[in-house]
A and B are shown apart, each in its own frame.
Chain A
């Protein structure tokens, strides 16, 4: 009787541990997550404009069809990254996701208080090294200090109607994520 109880309790405990471990490990092994799907758009360190979300042809699940997106995979292991773009006066925003798909930074045009997107993304270690002799870029750019290795940035631009699509596309083509400080 006592032995059965021990087995049941032990089993439940083990089940709990496996449950937690599984849930935590899923992002590391997922093959359909956003950062893996980003690879289909092309090589890293370049912004790729995602095909417009239309019925039957959506680059990622649950995208807003009223937005045009551009994504760039980058890594901070070779040094800081500067992300720049000249974007329209209407709504735009940018978000940075880490390897696990966590949204670690986001900003929109209003809170960035400018229409030129200019982010300096660097790790705390790189930041500490740069503090000795800060480059001019750190004065003007929005500094994003994050302990990232591989990550991706996603810019979204509001497209009020289809006639503005080519304009939005041209704006997104100015986006660059290969700059250094």
Chain B
């Protein structure tokens, strides 16, 4: 019983070994390689998710803002800064179950080639349920959501040096 229930807990919660955190973001670089651990494989098998391979890119997930508070649909967030070097990146919002959220703007993601940047190359994306000026990534008024930043064709997966990399900060503005 203990064995089964701890196994169920470990797999259901998506507990995977070998996570790497940069700032507010976490990635599992080994999940997309032949060396993926049994916990990752079990979780992937249950979720039906297909991980990005090491030759394709890497996905960073954020479930909390810079202050450590869980991301909530009734707040406005400012995702600000720069990403590690990558040929292409996309930022997508999912609900707590990993599904895309319906929104009136028909926009579910931003990618690096369409974004408005500042002169120093940094960017700012507003994540909110209500219309925002500039780059606006709409979400639904859900209790929790998560952001996934996918870096495609990045030297991060080749060398695996995560130390000197910077990821954008997720700042919470106002909540209602």
Residues in A lying within 8 Å of B, measured CB to CB: 11-12, 14-24, 26-27, 30, 32-34, 36-37, 53-56, 58, 60-67, 91, 93, 95, 97, 100-108, 110-111, 154, 156, 158, 160-161
Q: Is the CB of A108 within 8 A of B55?
A: yes
> With contacts A27-B44, A34-B44, A36-B48 known, what are 8 further pairs, Cβ within 8 A?
A16-B3, A18-B3, A22-B11, A64-B90, A93-B152, A97-B50, A103-B52, A106-B32
Q: Is the CB of A93 within 8 A of B55?
A: yes
- Residue-wise, chain B 30-66 has the 8 Å CB interface mask toward A (1 for contact) of 0111101011011011111111111111000000000
Q: Is the CB of B34 within 8 A of A102?
A: yes
Q: What chain B residues lie within 8 Å of A22 (beta carbons)? A: 3-4, 7-8, 11
B108 interface residue (CB < 8 Å to A): yes
- Among B44, B148, B152, the residue within 8 A (CB) of A108 is B152
Q: Is the CB of A61 within 8 A of B49?
A: yes
- Among A12, A16, A62, A65, the residue within 8 A (CB) of B109 is A65
Contacts A23-B7, A26-B11 known; A62 to B49 CB distance under 8 Å?
yes
B100 interface residue (CB < 8 Å to A): yes
Residue of A nearest to B86 (CB): A91
B130 interface residue (CB < 8 Å to A): no
Number of interface residues of B (CB under 8 A): 53
Q: Is the CB of B11 within 8 A of A23?
A: yes
Q: Is the CB of B53 within 8 A of A106?
A: yes
Q: What chain A residues lie within 8 Å of B33 (beta carbons)? A: 103
A37-B152 Cα distance, complex, nearest whole Å: 25
Q: What chain A residues lie within 8 Å of B49 (beta carbons)? A: 34, 60-62
For this complex, 9 residue pairs linking A to B, each with C-beta atoms less than 8 Å apart, are A18-B7, A23-B39, A33-B48, A55-B108, A56-B102, A103-B51, A107-B56, A108-B57, A111-B55
Contacts A11-B2, A61-B98 known; A32 to B36 CB distance under 8 Å?
no
Contacts A12-B2, A55-B108, A106-B53 known; A101 to B45 CB distance under 8 Å?
yes
Residue of A nearest to B9 (CB): A19
Residue of A nearest to B55 (CB): A106
- Among B90, B99, B103, B108, the residue within 8 A (CB) of A61 is B99
A160-B109 Cα distance, complex, nearest whole Å: 11
Q: What chain B residues lie within 8 Å of A21 (beta carbons)? A: 3
Q: Is the CB of B148 within 8 A of A62?
A: yes
- Taking the closest CB of chain A, its distance from the CB of B162, in whole angstroms, is 19
A61-B92 Cα distance, complex, nearest whole Å: 13
- Taking the closest CB of chain A, its distance from the CB of B148, in whole angstroms, is 7
Residues in B lying within 8 Å of A, measured CB to CB: 1-4, 6-8, 10-11, 31-34, 36, 38-39, 41-42, 44-57, 87-88, 90, 92, 94, 97-103, 108-109, 111, 113-114, 148, 150, 152-153
Q: Is the CB of A66 within 8 A of B153?
A: no
- Among B1, B45, B48, B87, the residue within 8 A (CB) of A26 is B45
Q: What chain B residues lie within 8 Å of A30 (beta carbons)? A: 42, 45-46
Q: Is the CB of B42 within 8 A of A154?
A: no
Contacts A15-B2, A62-B94, A66-B111 known; A23 to B48 CB distance under 8 Å?
no
Interface-central residue, A20, A62, A100, A101, by most chain B CB under 10 Å? A62
Interface-central residue, A14, A15, A102, A111, by most chain B CB under 10 Å? A102
Q: What chain A residues lie within 8 Å of B94 (beta carbons)? A: 62
